[in-house]
Amino acid sequence: MKKIVILGAIAMSMLACNKTNPLIDQPQTPYGVPAFDQVRIEHYLPAFEEAIRQDKAGIDAIIANPEEPTFENTIVALDRNGALLSRVSGVFYNVLEADGNDEMDAIAEKVSPMLSELHSYFVLNDALFARVKAVYDQREQLDLTPEQMRLLTETYRGFVDNGANLPADKKERLKKINEELSLLSLQFGRNVVAETNSCQRFITDESQLAGLPDGAKAAAAEEAAAAGHPGEWLFTPKRTSFTPVLQYCENRELRKQLLMDYTTRANHDNDNDNKAVIIREMELRIEKAKLFGYDNAADYILKNCMAKDHQTVDAFLQSVWAPSLEAAKREAAELQKLLDKDLPGEKLQPWDWWYYAEKLHKAKYALDEEELRPYFELNNVRKGAFGVASKLFGLQFEPLTDMPVYNKEVEVFKVTDAAGELIGILYTDYFPRAGKRPGAWMNDIMSQYVDAEGIDHRPVIINVGNFNKPTAGNPSLLSMDDVETLFHEFGHALHGLLSRAHYKNLSGTNTPRDFVELPSQFMENYAYEPEVMKTYAFHYQTGEVIPDSLIQKINAAGKFNQGFVTTELLSASILDMDFHELTTAEGLDVNAFEAQSLEKMGMIPEIIVRYRPTFYNHIFTTGYEAGYYSYTWSAVLDADAFAAFKETGDLFDPATAARWRHLLEQGGTRDSHDLYLEFRGKEADPQYLLRRKGFIQ
């Protein structure tokens, strides 16, 4: 009776909107992209219900197959199952992150336990696992290609890692843990967005903004007017809003207020406080790890990464932390001298660092970041990134103006190779809005794979950012950090776009977390090369290419403040590991634990950790728990990989580019370590990273 009621409910929802639901019917669109322009809020829940129904039906069909389990009828069938769910999820979660609202949040909360239940139905299904294990046990007798063997072993490992071998009572507990964790993750992210959006500081006296560049003031004035406060200036905890104040504003108290607004988000005793969420997440993660026989969450999570265990990660982080911290201490001493001239007797504080670093930067290198912004117009920078891909791989990027999008600010490009063959579709969405979470990221809206008929389905990829919006007087002008971010996310996009895997679960960015940042960080190197800068850095008013003198200053200043940058990053990585090396969360006090972690690592008080726990989305929302170290791990790889090009004397050396493209095309079809060795011919050498940062000669 209960099953009939559930099916009846689904049937009623389908009757209501199946005929007009573009997520289910998949109307004809160019290149088969989602019909974003036709999707309405009422379409999502019925689409998820139908997609989950189809996914379960596919699983049941594999189990019910009377034939003996084979690679094709079990492993490949599983990889191809769930096509509608992949499509619906690709649309929904991208829009939720980039253009969400309260209604979307409510749907996510309803869908989360549904997806968690489906996940358990899949990975804890004894009959299904029996078929998978039957194929796995005879793997040496099967005539499989390396990619097929990888799919088989990864599929089997996925079941084991998700509890297939656990006894029934532990399986049931694991289901409950996963369901609760999925809801907590949503709550954590929702609280951060709510805190970010609710915190507004209006300035009524322009004299309080002395030193702030005109462009930043104009943007703040437009934000205030849009918020119903014409004639005032609005600042929020969004980086595009408060960063210019930290760098340039003479008002020390305003700098302090805005930095505290940013670093105390979701850490107040109100409805958006994330401390209790963190404690519960850690309780559940530790319990989950112990179900599998691990003492802590870190080792359970890391077993399939390149690093393998927390001891390896800890040793790696410490090897880079020591030289970084020493560099940061030297930098702090230099900044203290500048502060002494302005405010004798005052101690350098975190809200002073950016301000005096900018002064020192200008004094040492005669380089003012505001002098650079006019050369970094967003569209030109994007063209520069596209140009690098063209020179490396022969890719072409054609704007598509009549494509369905979820927001009018989204732009779309058709990506083809030198022969005109379709590589994929790239969406870009670069400006902040109320419903967009902070930061920048890449998503695959539709993954690449080859179907049963041999048709290669090309991917649909999106790059999302939070760069300065154009104002009435200026286009979107980027900082050098923004330029680096754009190149970084485009590197992720190339990893997804160039994929040539047969199976969707191995395609694109489906790689270990400490490898997935390699392609993105590799692309950052090109942003600073003079040869590349001259292809994108044009003054937005005069069209003048960036002068050699400015390029020389940028490169001369490349090692400036790297102690701060690296220490800020590594402290967040160590804090992440400290949380996930806990063997119990009993008595956990989030703020006290953070303080203990920072004291243990020797963090200097002039620097605040990049992500304080209550807004640390990477490890409490987006799946980077015990994984934030991967940015630095990948930095060692990317510096070594870029050296391979530099050693040839040609940034776009065809032979090296061909090997690099091959690495990107493989996705997760091969062991990541083996892929890198094949590209480079040797292990990555950390000296390239340390030299790039100026920590060694």
Instruction: Count Cβ neighbours within 10 Å for each residue of 582-598 and write b for 16 or more, e otherwise.
Output: beebeebebeebbeebb
Mention every residue, 6+ apart, whose C-beta is less than 8 A from residue 130: none
CA distance 560 to 334: 12
Rounded distance between C-alpha atoms, residue 240 and residue 219, angstroms? 9
C-beta atoms surrounding 205 within 10 Å: 8
Closest C-alpha to 101, from 399, 419, 437, 390: 437
Contacts of 206 (CB under 8 A, 6+ apart): 217, 233
Q: Which of 347, 388, 458, 404 is nearest to 645 (CA)?
A: 388
The partner residues of 377 in beta bridges, in order of sequence, read 477
Tell me which residue has tokens 């992949």: 86
Residues serving a catalytic function are: 489
CA of 393: how far to CAs of 386, 416, 418, 587, 681, in Å? 10, 10, 8, 54, 21
Rounded to an integer, what distance in angstroms lies between the CA atom of residue 231 and that of residue 472?
15
Q: What gap in Å lies between CA 157 and CA 137, rounded to an integer?
A: 12
Task: Give the residue from 598, 625, 624, 589 showing the smallest Cα distance to 279.
Answer: 589
Residues 6 or more apart whose Cβ sits within 8 Å of residue 98: 406, 407, 429, 435, 436, 437, 462, 464
Query: Residue 68 has what DSSP assignment?
Result: P
How many angstroms separate the CA atoms of 12 and 3, rounded?
Answer: 14
| CA 663 – CA 672 distance, rounded (Å) | 9
Q: Are strands 233-235 and 201-203 parallel, antiparallel or unpaired?
A: antiparallel
Tokens linked to 457? 């389905």
Taking the CB of residue 291, how many other CB atoms lie within 10 A of it? Answer: 17
